[in-house]
Structure 1
């Protein structure tokens, strides 16, 4: 045996549709077609000649003829095995293929001559020559596949090759019988037909072989085997050294042995039991072959981008069952045909994974030798069965039925042995098969999983099914880490042992824990894949939990990469904690779509936070992909209204109350009116000037269903600023109501469309049509009638103008995907159900109101109660008590008012209070909990982020008090599918735990951009990351804390001084506990200073405390002296300037300060 020398030229691997692979496919198809056409033409001819020679009987010698033909065709595979392996390794497999096709032309010419003379011995000799050609071609034919296609396409390629081969066998067998039928009457007159067919197929195969791309030899230094038998013995030794490859080769040999037996037995079965003619026998052969073809394609499809050996036991069991049943089908052609087809199906499932494994795992330089040795074993088996078959038929006088029975019984131990050898792969595949009836799994980035060597896989943990899903999507075995309680459990422990799960004994002290980590570390050193769910528990909110720091010990000193993995879509499945429980719930969809993303390997990760960041960013990509396939907002609205058809869906303080059915009917009516001459087709942007309530819901939803862009205008702005927004957005018409304009008169340059006027145009027929769609038609019909499926995720849904706290309002363009991804993430985190009633007080021109109190209620099972004035605390309290509201979205300013004016009874049913837009004082949370029994949760977002980024979640909503999802003083953890990071504002370097820096956000919630301001958009969104302008830090549990805003810092004496921190302390000092007003009393800003750069100044309303006392109290808080304003830096104003949203008007505040201090 020569030492293999590597190929010099890189192999030009291409896809399944490349010219090279298609050329090879056609070449092997024509070769298999010609083989079988000639063999069965000769077999039919010889059987007739033998019957003539020995007398026309029942064909008792047919089995002997078939066995002889099979032996002659397969004997060269044994005799020339070493030469075939030599040719495949020593020369380019393309060259071997081309010259074998040339040899086929010569042999077919000899076959035509033999047919002319009608000499059965000469014909049998040509059959042997054809077998020799096939034997020499076989290793090159099998070995060329890994050189033409990438590794992840080998299974699919083998499936396609298997299918086309079977088609060729069917066509060749049928053609062989047909050609014999043509020439048996007058051989000399009709010989030109088989001559053209045989020579034509051979020449066409040679021409197709020329399409194969040039390939280099695998082992150019290999010498010619002078002693073929000794060389074959060495090849067999080489094969035997690799036990998995040896077992696979034996499996392939078993398949071909069984196939040979079935092929010979079918002929006897059809003639003796079913009394079929030769052409009809060809149809039975065709059914068997078609089954093999379909099984081959299924095996390739089920294998995906890997080699899946778990399919093999399924194929073996199908073969065993069908072979046994063929003994009991009687004379029924239907059941015989069915069983033969299924027998072939099982054969395809059995053989393709084995062939793929052999090609994938064998060393390229010795692949020819291994394949030649495999062929030796395979065809030794076929010769043995060819010798045994006539003995069974003639000597033992067994009919075809018991032969099939024996074949089936013999296959059962093979199937059991395969399961014994690869229990994990078998279980993995059977679970995959079952799960694919429940789930539809899409895998991306599988190429990032190392093909060889050790690696640590780190994934998020969403459900009980996560581990099994990873096992079944990997082409390599994975050793999972799991708590010892599960591994040692009697019910599932056996399964854990099969998959060689590494138990973690975290409760048994640090020594046992270190022992588990060392076991995992050694497994990686040994070249195994190890997977850990680093969160240590299944998420109860969908949010990514903190990673266990000790996990990095697993890869320490191994040099192995860490592969991040993100499982998306499992939230909401039966095995997740969605709806507050595991298992006992109906799945929302069938099959349930799941995505598994393998990220790029991390070769230099040195801490758990880096890995967690990679998993979090992978989650953004996963949600981005799945979001494009989710139902859009109008579709969600239709379905939620139909679910709440007879239940209150929306109401308001005026008393108007609509069920889901009535709301959908109303929206469809107004959509119809809007479409009839009010809004032109090219009028895309429509203004909306309505308070939060039923009218606002109907107008916004109808516009969304029309594919229009709703622009909710901020009615707290001046007419000039509102005109600026209208002109900026290109709005021609604004939907409003006369009642609203009576309360809030304004003079703006636009045309008003009044809801009251439209309502008068509604006809009885229109009501009937809308009601029929809302109450009778299924959701998909409504989708079709209104073209809802044509609305794309990237289509613009709304333009929301920012509050303009630092300048003119900017139009933020938000798409359907932006808003829908945000409400899905909120829903996933806080477990919204049909029992929830949302108290909506935020206006729809506010992003928090548009997403949180409008679309969140319309796109989920919750209902909503609206009131137009968030500061009307008494009415808000009464509505909450009347409708037993459970969720409230508000700002700290509004909450302060409710804290003072609402009674505990009015908020008794509240379960979730989320605050945004301003920093929530910790003292407010404590006071609110003391009065109402519920802790308000601070969240964070910006208009540009649709708006929610992160939120604290109380234990009552995450279902597990041990899983930390709330920490006062922070803005919570990022929502699922949203990634955050902290960078150095100057260098852009990513910062670590508890380091303050600039907060960047990435996700499907990031806006499309600023209206008419591409430069500003490009400045703030870089590579998908949005620069919030806020200064923040992330702790070791993943909670984010906002420490200030970049624009609200002053640089004094080289140090950054935060205005917000000073402002918060002053607010506590000057607060009047007896006051019933939620007004802001102080605000901090800065003005230029000649020597220090900037000077801190404080605007304040009339105060009860003197300035000196305030300064003393401020110094006592522990703030640095540099941060303390001087006595002359305070100035009194009548009102602190605020925007309609309750935020400080920083622009006006700055102007007041500059005017006061004149610097």
Structure 2
């Protein structure tokens, strides 16, 4: 027989043998496929691998975020894993053969009790043999990237008298999905970068008696732990923008509504030149104040300060000169970048330490400009960053910004946020909003506002999403015009601001919008209904605070593909973004509460601030064991959606009972049927009952006696119903520049009524 013929026979035999092995050994096939993926398309980061036992029965409990979850889990287990998959997932045609080949265990519908009993017996039998099984308690792949409701705990699956290790695993996807399932169809989402970053956080063995809700909370907490640390390839904000500018020099990311715009290359050159001027200031403070309106010059100033190795401290000019400059002084800010034209518009005097940008621009010579253009144009990215920002180029743990809290309950606090904080928040936000390259943002919220800074400055720096700045968020006509002219798709606003925009807009001017997110104050149902009728969109309510970078939750519907057009949990602030954990605890004991039990809301994750500047005592009071105490009273339902009941500071203790101000406000608003904020409730001292409610209102046609009578008809608790004499007419309700109620001013007005 010819050698060539022998070679062909051996080659064919090897192929046949390989095919038989692949067919008969699914676990080997999984490992082979995963090895190929991990060396081509996927970068997997694993923590806690030692928690999976090498012997004995194991039940893995994991969240379900993609079609390759089984590959990822099998790749980290030294033993073969049998997966339990729900009936409706098995019926998905494109993957039916794969599930059959892998020998998955079918989880029947709960409407088939006999089949369910057979399933329990089979699982218990496998565990008695010492096998490794894996359950996805959500029942299917997450439709929005967040954790869905867990259908059951693990107790019914465990055989009596057998010590089973229950191992929780949290699969995290840092950069979105390649494939997902919606309406029985396979959806492809182009990756923003390759390789795709996945993470597996493997927890210590869990109690076998945990309920479905407790298991969900446990895996959510694992996610917060996994994404708290710096991630692979993470860059500070200014460096991420510089990298994008080098790759896309002619793209425009930052522009003004009046038509002023800078290409990425021009913005980088301007920021680099300004960084030289900032270094020349010679101040010892690591903070440089920035006092400017939303505009491209503001963005350049922020980048310039960061490239100079300093941290921008954004001055809240809406608070007034005295409050704003006093807060800056307390933070040790000796130099403030500002504009003479803007100071004149504010009516502020020029103070010592203010650096006028118009004057600094005149000091930059033509030769300096040419030299910087050559530097930015010719140097490779990493070499350029070491030249421009040697202190901060590749350190995401440094501070990104110093923001001042709204001061709604007292004196503003200086909040330190790192690049890690901002990145953690934005990477989650990025993949949850179904982002596309067609998206555009309107820069209406001032950058001293945490949401404005994060979504309207930092997010464009990371993603390249164009942002159109307006200097005045109250310029409703200007905002509407910008939405119409620039085909804005993403709008963020407080309900108060949004209401002003709706008054100025015609429905066709808002047709480009696909997603509208509100926060900072309660979204009134009447306003949401009016906006739905006007645009066909649902207002998506979110929640956050400056100390949390700021986005914590967004009220996502069950499928990301319905985002902005449908809401499944009206009245909720939504589910935590991936990598963020929210829990509710008893305010007195600190014990975590179960579903639908109201308590104190706490948050954990990479978004939790570094701390309050020069205030370690206050920092220690609000951050304990990695959890930030929000001061809000909330409940979490079984689906994981969070509902705010009220602010801890917005309760009055009347006759020993806690009365929520916001629910009283909502009850009055429902009676009035208006989408506008017409009333605000505060508390004041009362010698007999501890406190009493004071209702401030603005409409001329408001009849306190009639409102009290209607509240009684609605059968509200008597303690919730204010006295007629405690209604006070105001010309306008006290608001902060962010659109929030000024609670400190409201409290002061209420106490004044007590002494009147």
Q: TM-score, normalization: structure 1? A: 0.61
Alignment equivalent of 2:723, drawn from 1106, 1115, 1126: 1126
1:721 counterpart = 2:328: no
CA-CA distance at 1:916 after TM superposition: 0.8
Q: 1:1122 to 1:779 in 2, by over 3 A?
A: same
Corresponding residue of 1:1156: 753
CA-CA distance at 1:1029 after TM superposition: 0.6
Describe the SS at the equivalent of 1:800. Answer: strand
Corresponding residue of 2:405: 802
- The CA deviation string for residues 528-565 of structure 1, in whole angstroms up to 9 with x for no partner, is 11112222232343211221226653237455242110
Describe the SS at the equivalent of 1:625. Answer: coil
1:817 counterpart = 2:414: no
Contact 1:645 1:775 in 2 (8 A): no
How do 1:533-544 and structure 2 match up within 5 A? 533-544=136-147
| Larger fraction in helix | 1
CA-CA distance at 1:497 after TM superposition: 4.8
Alignment equivalent of 1:1111, drawn from 708, 712, 720: 708
Contact 2:221 2:580 in 1 (8 A): yes
Tell me the distance in 2 between the aligned counterparts of 1:410 and 1:1101: 87
Corresponding residue of 1:549: 152
- Corresponding pairs, count: 750
Alignment equivalent of 1:851, drawn from 454, 463, 481: 454
Alignment equivalent of 2:431, drawn from 828, 832, 838: 828
CA-CA distance at 1:818 after TM superposition: 0.8
Tell me the distance in 2 between the aligned counterparts of 1:708 and 1:582: 47
Describe the SS at the equivalent of 2:199. Answer: strand
Corresponding residue of 1:428: 30
CA-CA distance at 1:689 after TM superposition: 0.4
Corresponding residue of 1:607: 211
Tell me the distance in 2 between the aligned counterparts of 1:1060 and 1:417: 66
Describe the SS at the equivalent of 1:687. Answer: strand
Q: 1:418 to 1:833 in 2, by over 3 A?
A: closer
Corresponding residue of 1:684: 286
How do 1:518-597 and structure 2 match up within 5 A? 518-549=121-152, 552-555=155-158, 557=160, 559-569=163-173, 571-575=175-179, 584=188, 587-597=191-201
Q: 1:511 to 1:451 in 2, by over 3 A?
A: same
Tell me the distance in 1 between the aligned counterparts of 2:12 and 2:319: 86
Tell me the distance in 2 between the aligned counterparts of 1:1004 and 1:895: 30
Q: 1:775 to 1:938 in 2, by over 3 A?
A: farther
CA-CA distance at 1:855 after TM superposition: 1.0
Corresponding residue of 1:634: 238
Q: 1:1071 to 1:722 in 2, by over 3 A?
A: farther
Contact 2:635 2:645 in 1 (8 A): yes
Contact 1:641 1:649 in 2 (8 A): no
CA-CA distance at 1:810 after TM superposition: 0.9
CA-CA distance at 1:700 after TM superposition: 1.0
1:479 counterpart = 2:82: yes
Tell me the distance in 2 between the aligned counterparts of 1:847 and 1:489: 43
Corresponding residue of 2:311: 709
Bigger relative CO (Cα 8 Å, ≥ 6 apart) = 2
1:623 counterpart = 2:227: yes
Tell me the distance in 1 between the aligned counterparts of 2:706 and 2:294: 43
1:1094 counterpart = 2:691: yes
Tell me the distance in 1 between the aligned counterparts of 2:424 and 2:619: 21
Q: 1:554 to 1:604 in 2, by over 3 A?
A: closer
Contact 1:487 1:501 in 2 (8 A): no
Alignment equivalent of 1:735, drawn from 337, 348, 352: 337
Tell me the distance in 2 between the aligned counterparts of 1:830 and 1:606: 32
Q: 1:966 to 1:1102 in 2, by over 3 A?
A: closer
Corresponding residue of 1:1021: 623
How do 1:874-1023 and structure 2 match up within 5 A? 874-953=477-556, 958-959=560-561, 966-1023=568-625
1:462 counterpart = 2:65: yes
Larger deviation, residues 470-479 vs 545-554: 545-554
CA-CA distance at 1:920 after TM superposition: 0.5
Q: 1:846 to 1:432 in 2, by over 3 A?
A: same
Tell me the distance in 2 between the aligned counterparts of 1:409 and 1:864: 60
- The CA deviation string for residues 585-635 of structure 1, in whole angstroms up to 9 with x for no partner, is 654444444321110111243311111111101101111235375222122
Describe the SS at the equivalent of 2:509. Answer: coil
CA-CA distance at 1:1099 after TM superposition: 2.4
1:503 counterpart = 2:100: no
Contact 1:877 1:898 in 2 (8 A): yes
Contact 2:31 2:74 in 1 (8 A): no
Corresponding residue of 1:656: 260
Tell me the distance in 1 between the aligned counterparts of 2:187 and 2:174: 12
CA-CA distance at 1:833 after TM superposition: 2.2
Tell me the distance in 1 between the aligned counterparts of 2:48 and 2:142: 24
Tell me the distance in 1 between the aligned counterparts of 2:282 and 2:570: 48
CA-CA distance at 1:959 after TM superposition: 1.3
Contact 1:836 1:887 in 2 (8 A): yes
- The CA deviation string for residues 802-841 of structure 1, in whole angstroms up to 9 with x for no partner, is 1212221111111111111111111111022221110111
Contact 2:144 2:557 in 1 (8 A): no
Contact 2:276 2:308 in 1 (8 A): no
Describe the SS at the equivalent of 1:609. Answer: helix
Describe the SS at the equivalent of 1:1033. Answer: strand
CA-CA distance at 1:410 after TM superposition: 14
Q: 1:766 to 1:422 in 2, by over 3 A?
A: farther
Tell me the distance in 2 between the aligned counterparts of 1:1029 and 1:982: 11
- The CA deviation string for residues 79-123 of structure 1, in whole angstroms up to 9 with x for no partner, is xxxxxxxxxxxxxxxxxxxxxxxxxxxxxxxxxxxxxxxxxxxxx
Contact 1:707 1:797 in 2 (8 A): no
Q: 1:640 to 1:555 in 2, by over 3 A?
A: farther
Corresponding residue of 1:1066: 668
Describe the SS at the equivalent of 1:826. Answer: helix
| Larger fraction in strand | 2
Corresponding residue of 1:1052: 654
Contact 1:443 1:596 in 2 (8 A): yes
Describe the SS at the equivalent of 2:683. Answer: strand
Q: 1:1072 to 1:934 in 2, by over 3 A?
A: closer
Contact 1:983 1:990 in 2 (8 A): yes
Larger deviation, residues 540-549 vs 623-632: 623-632
Tell me the distance in 1 between the aligned counterparts of 2:478 and 2:562: 34
CA-CA distance at 1:1048 after TM superposition: 0.8
Tell me the distance in 2 between the aligned counterparts of 1:742 and 1:410: 85
Q: 1:701 to 1:489 in 2, by over 3 A?
A: closer
Q: Which has the larger radius of gyration?
A: 1
Structure 2: gaps of 5 or more residues = none
Contact 2:443 2:452 in 1 (8 A): yes
Q: 1:417 to 1:655 in 2, by over 3 A?
A: closer
RMSD between aligned alpha carbons? 3.3
How do 1:231-270 and structure 2 match up within 5 A? none
Structure 1: gaps of 5 or more residues = 1-326, 329-401
Describe the SS at the equivalent of 1:906. Answer: helix
Contact 1:1010 1:1017 in 2 (8 A): yes
How do 1:172-191 and structure 2 match up within 5 A? none
Corresponding residue of 1:447: 50
Contact 1:641 1:661 in 2 (8 A): yes
Tell me the distance in 2 between the aligned counterparts of 1:820 and 1:674: 25
Q: 1:761 to 1:539 in 2, by over 3 A?
A: farther
Q: TM-score, normalization: structure 2? A: 0.91
Tell me the distance in 2 between the aligned counterparts of 1:1047 and 1:861: 39
CA-CA distance at 1:954 after TM superposition: 5.5
- The CA deviation string for residues 443-473 of structure 1, in whole angstroms up to 9 with x for no partner, is 2211111222223211122221110111121
Tell me the distance in 2 between the aligned counterparts of 1:1112 and 1:1012: 51
CA-CA distance at 1:798 after TM superposition: 1.3
CA-CA distance at 1:741 after TM superposition: 0.9
